[in-house]
Amino acid sequence: MSETNPNPAPEPAKVPAAAAPVAAPAAAPKPAVKPDMSRGDFLWAGWGMLAAFFAAAGAAGARFMFPNVIYEPSQKFNAGAASTYDLGVSTKWLNEQRVWIVRTPSGFYAMWARCTHLGCTPNWWGDQNRFKCPCHGSNYTLDGDVIAGPAPMPLWRTKVTLAPTGDLIVDKAILENKPGKRENAPYFADYASA
Amino acid sequence: MPLPPLDIEKIKKEVIDSQLWRSVFRGGVWKDTPRDRAGHIIGNVWLHLHPVKVRPRALKWAYTWGMGGISFALYLLLTLTGVALMFYYRPTIGLAYQDIKDLEFAVTLGMFLRNAHRWAAQAMVVAVIAHMVRVFLTGAYKKPREFNWGIGVLLLTLTLFLSFTGYLLPWDQLAIWAVTVGTNMAGATPVLGNEGPLGSLVGMRINNDVRFTLLGGTMVGENTLLRFYVMHCVAVPLVVGILLILHFWRIRKDSFSAAPYEANEEKVDVWPHLVKREYIGAAGTTLFIMIWSILQNAPLEAIANPNVTTNPSKAPWYFVGLQELLVYFDPWIAGVVMPGLIIVGLIAIPYIDTNPKGIGSYAWKERPFANTLFMLGVVMWFALIYIGYALRGPNYAWYWPWESWFMVKPAPPPTWSVFGPKPDGAYSMLLGIPLMGAITAAWMLLPKLIQKELDGKKTMGAFLGLVALVGAGGMAMGKMGATEVAFLLFFLGASFYYGFVLPQRHIRTLDWPRYSVTMVLVISTMSVLLKMCARLTFNIKYVLTIPSISMNF
């Protein structure tokens, strides 16, 4: 019957059926509609959302701790006329810029005065030809290579260039400490001795 | 007109019976009955964390040392003095140091309060450590108190962290360099730090790693000072407070003492017996800190200079042991893995130590292994502190106590590494990694695999004989002096005794999981001795170095 009649039952026909519950109270079979979600699944979804909320809140809190703007001094400075430096290590800029300017017979390199171990400032001991760190006793050669103590790698050399004015421009944001690379531009400024 | 005679008793009765008095202090007339005593504890919000009665042993100073209570008294003192100091302190680079100077010279009682805060902090470190040692030696962490021991370990860690965050605030040279070093250690954390192993592989840079969050920048600066101020004054004390409540609650729930009940043991009233002792302890502690603060001023170095470090630069005494450890191991090992292992290892102890004996009494003989190894750790920690504090001079070179710091020490000899790719290592990694793996595996397994208990004296004798033989050979070949041989005998002998003979004797019957965890902790402890020996005797920097991934051991 239903196969031949595509139309659904007319609306008014339903009304008396629904309006007469007294006829068949609980005996009516439950509709065989499977719920989209079981009670257990619903609960799990709820807990899952709560967990997701806490995870997101945690992640947001962690992200909050990373500042987007930081106000720190520029890493670039003018170290003055190259001609004013003598051969060897100059500690002229240590207190202000944390950099040693080293003049060799053929030019200049600049080293960031930050121990590669845990970031203290080593001191230059000219009589022993070493940089020595006061915090854990690391020792470096004039080239910045580690010869004693716990430091894991050589001191960083910074970018150093000779400006047309004859001034040395040091940029501590650009660093290199690998032998073979650190001896070349921009980590070395050619300046033949007069 | 003559005054009526003063009837004190009548006035007292009228005051006490007044509505005002009764609204504040409840209860009838105090007759010191057990009911009154119980009521005093139950009816008082501050006292009611106590039970009404405790076992008499909880009152014995010789048993408890009073160290838990004294730690708490110091925590309260630190809160009071700390809040007072906050009224005159502004956490910015331009003002912080000046404010400390003002506290010292321009604020009434400012110097005294700052001294009290500093000395109470140091006393609290000592008290908390002493409390931990006491709890360990009396086996008081055992079931069912495992969890509370863990809380206690966290509280010890937070006590140290509070000290660490506190000493940046004066913005002097100690402040900036201690925090520079401390946060650079965080920067050496594996994976999460830009200088740590694997860090750069997962994209860690100087401006996105864990160090960056601690500092709030790429260097110790304005943000760092503010962050440490907030952590020191608000965030960490809050966490400590929550953990303290948990700690005290658990102590009460676990009825104070774990010792088996004695025959006819009767509990005593907390009021007045325990509360009285707590007040005496707190009063004594306060008096002690006051006298100390009058006699000695808290140190303050020159104003912070982010470019130049003082020579030598040393951490506060309780971190000097860590500083000394950093001489021998890479920062990610000494600064991250080892402290982490110590904390996790301490928390794990109650779950590893299944020995049912020695609870609630000092019974060394009933738990020789646990006590010996724990105290060895404590002694080693303080030995490292002594070396760092007393035996290190300018350039962090080794100065004996009788040597003047004005004496110029010869430059330390060059160091070398045993295994690693050329030219970093003297011998190939292909030899080193299997050899080290084999030694570690043998050390891990042998104490348990040898079923029969070895004769301690004979085993030690044989081992020391072997070391002496090697030493004699080295001396004959001119490669070692008497000092080197003595160092070898001491360090290798100690490592062998504590790391092999004792575990073989005492813990070979443990189940594999507990045995393995214990041996990992034991071997890690011994590795400190062995690495110190390698450095001090043979100038060995790394036993194994793999520079390409920043892995050095």
* Residue of chain B minimizing CA distance to A71: B217
Please choose, from the candidates A101, A115, A150, the residue with its C-alpha nearest in 3D space to the C-alpha of residue B311: A115
pLDDT of residue A194: 47
pLDDT of residue B263: 82
User: Which residues in A lie closer than 8 A to residue B414 (C-beta atoms)?
Assistant: 147-148
**For B308, which of A62, A94, A117 is closest by C-beta distance?**
A94
pLDDT of residue A2: 44
User: Which residues in A lie closer than 8 A to residue B326 (C-beta atoms)?
Assistant: 117-118, 136, 150
Helix (H, G, I), strand (E, B) or coil at B298: coil
Alpha carbons within 13 A on the beta-carbon side of B138: 21
Is the pLDDT assigned to residue B27 strictly greater than 90? Answer: no
What interface predicted TM-score (ipTM) does this complex get?
Answer: 0.86
Q: Does residue A84 or residue A194 have the better pLDDT?
A: A84
Is the pLDDT assigned to residue A13 strictly greater than 50? Answer: no
Is the pLDDT assigned to residue A9 strictly greater than 70? Answer: no
| B194 touching chain A per CB within 8 A | no
Residues B417-442 have a mean pLDDT of: 90
pLDDT > 70: percent of chain A: 82
User: Which residues in A lie closer than 8 A to residue B307 (C-beta atoms)?
Assistant: 94-98, 113, 121
**For B310, which of A113, A134, A147 is closest by C-beta distance?**
A134
The span from the CA of B413 to the CA of A193, in Å, is: 34
Q: Which of A166-175, B105-114, B220-229, B423-432 has the lowest mean pLDDT?
A: B423-432
Residues A80-91 have a mean pLDDT of: 93
Residues B323-329 have a mean pLDDT of: 94
User: Which residues in B lie closer than 8 A to residue A133 (C-beta atoms)?
Assistant: 309, 395-396
- B212 and A71 within 8 Å at the Cβ level: the answer is no
Is the pLDDT assigned to residue B262 strictly greater than 70? Answer: yes
How near does any CA of chain A get to the CA of B408, in Å?
A: 11
pLDDT of residue B198: 87
pLDDT digits (tens, 9 = 90+) for B277-304: 999 999 999 999 999 999 999 999 999 9
Contact between residue B544 and residue B553 where contact means Cβ atoms under 8 Å apart: yes
3-state secondary structure chain A: CCCCCCCCCCHHHHHHHHHCCCCCCCCCCCCCCCCCCCHHHHHHHHHHHHHHHHHHHHHHHHHHCCCCCCCCCCCEEEEEEHHHCCCEEECCCHHHHCEEEEEECCEEEEEECCCCCCCCCCEEECCCCEEECCCCCCEECCCCCEEECCCCCCCCEEEEEECCCCEEEEEEEEEECCCCCCCCCCCCEECCCC
Residue B124, amino acid: M
| B411 touching chain A per CB within 8 A | yes
Is the pLDDT assigned to residue B500 strictly greater than 70? Answer: yes
**For B397, which of A65, A96, A137 is closest by C-beta distance?**
A137
pLDDT of residue A20: 47
Confidence of residue A28 (pLDDT cuts 50, 70, 90): low
How near does any CA of chain A get to the CA of B192, in Å?
A: 13
pLDDT of residue B49: 87
Residues B359-387 have a mean pLDDT of: 93
How near does any CA of chain A get to the CA of B313, in Å?
A: 5
**For A136, which of B223, B327, B541 is closest by C-beta distance?**
B327
How near does any CA of chain B get to the CA of A119, in Å?
A: 6
Confidence of residue B30 (pLDDT cuts 50, 70, 90): confident
Contact between residue B542 and residue B427 where contact means Cβ atoms under 8 Å apart: no
| B213 touching chain A per CB within 8 A | yes
pLDDT of residue A19: 47
pLDDT of residue A18: 45
* Residue of chain B minimizing CA distance to A95: B307
